[in-house]
Every structure is written in C-alpha cells, then in structure tokens.
Amino acid sequence: DTEVTQTPKHLVMGMTNKKSLKCEQHMGHRAMYWYKQKAKKPPELMFVYSYEKLSINESVPSRFSPECPNSSLLNLHLHALQPEDSALYLCASSQGLAGGPFNEQYFGPGTRLTVT
Amino acid sequence: AQSVTQLDSQVPVFEEAPVELRCNYSSSVSVYLFWYVQYPNQGLQLLLKYLSGSTLVESINGFEAEFNKSQTSFHLRKPSVHISDTAEYFCAVSGNTGKLIFGQGTTLQVKP
C-alpha cells in the first residue's frame, strides 16, 4: 500500500474560522511533510516531521499549526487565514530524513483550500 | 546549494509524437533524481527515479529518463505520447538535507 490519504478534499473557510486538514499513511514511513502549492507552481515545503517531532519549519506564519499525533497521522490546524492562503495543500511521506533514497516522497491527493 | 532547472515551461506536442522534457540540476553532493507527474486537480505521483546503478530508468507507462552526470541532466522522454499524458511534470533532486528541491515544472499539452 503506497497510499497517502488526505481529508477533506475541498475546504472553504472564512478568515475567522478554525479548521483542520488531516493526512494519513500506513507505509511505516517516519517522515511526513506539508506542502503548499499554487496553480502552475511547484510545491513549497512548509513543515517536516521526523519520528513525530517537528524537524523543519520553513518560516511558516503561525496561523498554520502542524501536529503529528502518531507516526501515521499528520494534521494542519488553520486559524485566521488570509485569502492569499488559498491553495492546494499536499501531504507527503517518506521512509526517513536521511536524505538521498530515503527521501523518495509519496504524495496525497491534496486538499483544495479556499479562504473567503 | 542544490537547484533544478526545467528548461521549458510548456511543451505542446501532437498525439503519437515523441517528446522530451528537459531537466538540469546543480549539486555539489551525491544526487538522487526524481520525476513527478501531476494530473489536473490531483496530487503528485512519482513517475520514475534515479538513485544509483543504471543511468537509464524507465516507468511502467513508457516514459524513460537518463541520468547524465557530465551534463548534469535528467531529461524525460517518451517515444509516443497519448492524450492522457497531458499533465504537469516536475523534476526534483534530493541531496543529504532531507528536502526535495523541485524545478518550476513543465506543462505537457498533448493535442489530438
């Protein structure tokens, strides 16, 4: 099973709402990632968890709050977002963070977020 | 620092014609190279990868890529494209930092 699942598929939220994105994998991977992708652009790395600990934060605004409850789950909590945060949010996982072949990443289908 | 350059932002091609999507990388460490494909309104799918060994790697749907260390390239080719190959293609490099460095992407438009 090489599947990464994400819910919801689509999300529309107002600037004062609080919502969460969820990601799950059952490949035994120990590294999980959140990316933001704008149309016709490559994914931009936001956060990386390794062995359930936050390893990389790419200077993401605090209105985005990641959480890794266990090795299979990754959440992204959203609060007070701006319209420019509208994008496709992708989750990915890999065996680990050792680099090289361990960084072969498997992506989920994404959550299409619209902030109104 | 590592970087990836995809030389063409858009490649229009007729169905059943051959295609090449170009990718050049810059890295001072050992490289591991990937091609990902993104169909409309979907996530990224790993198309093929070069980790070590044979410099020519193939995917199950007819794409192939050749790792050329002297030219620092990893071009993607297919001898005969289908309408269903229309998608965004991203080349990526992974070094020792644990991050994937993506190119800007190439839109492959296959016309009937």
Residues of chain B with pLDDT under 50: none
Q: Is A42 helix (H, G, I), strand (E, B) or coil?
A: coil
- Burial bucket for residue B12 (CB in 10 Å: 0-12, 13-18, 19+): exposed
Distances (CA, A) of A85 to A17, A31, A47, A96: 13, 24, 15, 28
CA dihedral sign, ordered A81, B36, B73, B106: negative
> Mutating which of B11, B42, B44, B45 best tests the A interface, going by the most A Cβ atoms within 10 A?
B44
Q: What confidence score (pLDDT) does residue B61 get? A: 87
A101 Cβ contact list (under 8 Å, min separation 6): B32, B51, B52, B94
Per-residue pLDDT of chain A (116 residues; tens, 9 = 90+): 669 999 999 999 999 899 999 999 999 999 999 999 999 899 999 999 999 999 999 999 999 999 999 989 999 999 999 999 999 999 999 988 766 666 789 999 999 999 99
Q: What confidence score (pLDDT) does residue A95 get? A: 87
Which residue type occupies A31?
A: A
- The neighbour count for residue B38, using CB atoms within 10 Å, is 23
B89-110, pLDDT tens digit by residue?
999 998 767 788 899 999 999 9
- Give the closest of A43, A99, A109 to B98, CB-based: A99
Q: What confidence score (pLDDT) does residue A99 get? A: 65
